[in-house]
Amino acid sequence: MLDEFKQTLVVRHLGQQDYLTCWQAMQTFTNQRNEETLDELWLLEHPPVFTLGQSGNRQHILRAGEIPIHQIDRGGQVTYHGPGQLIAYTLIDIKRKQLSIRQFVTQLEQSIIDLLAQEQIQAESQCKAPGVYVNTKKICSIGLRVRRGYAFHGLALNVAMDLEPFSRINPCGYAGLKMTQLSELVASAELPETGKKLAACLTKNLGYSETI
């Protein structure tokens, strides 16, 4: 019976969601789940917000302006979320999947690389700085929390958004790091279709046989 839980992924397309409400929902889901809870993938976007990891340094926020800042319980430094960015919250039992945290991050990165390859875009990961890069510019950030073997938070893929707020921070703690997005590389890039493609890549790479 546990194989059934291991092989099934619930995919939820949630549209635009308030950041704090969504974060609290992730915490509640993770706190209440058990070995028979199906894994879930939440695909959505957020209104403008800066988020800082639990050990993040506020010195990496150069000028927030009118954009709110929330220090949260994921790993990593500061990043920006806003409309036109695809958020994928990966609520995955990595213990049941028999994945280490590093292996899980690698599969998330590979799913983005595979997605971009469908658009004839060559992308790569970097060992010292989790995420996905195109020509040294970052297109996808990854930040996770794992509790009792249950992963939450996930990844943020820049699709068709205003990149200006990234200039107000040192993205992921790296001064001068340049950001890019899918719409700069593929004129027809749209968030809903990109979300469907990403769900398919994650389903394959994380070894699910069924999505609901």
- The residue annotated as part of the active site, out of 22, 127, 172, 201, is 172
HEC string for the chain: CHHHHHHEEEEEEEEECCHHHHHHHHHHHHHHCCCCCCEEEEEEECCCEEEECCCCCHHHECCCCCCCEEECCCCCCEEEECCCEEEEEEEEECCCCCCCHHHHHHHHHHHHHHHHHCCCCCCEECCCCCCEEECCEEEEEEEEEEECCEEEEEEEEECCCCCHHHHHECHHHCCCCCECCHHHCCCCCCHHHHHHHHHHHHHHHCCCCEEC
Map tokens 């590389």 to a residue: 185
**Does 172 participate in catalysis according to the annotation?**
yes
Query: Given strand 69-71, what is the order of strands in its sheet?
Result: 69-71, 49-52, 78-81
Please list the active-site residues: 172
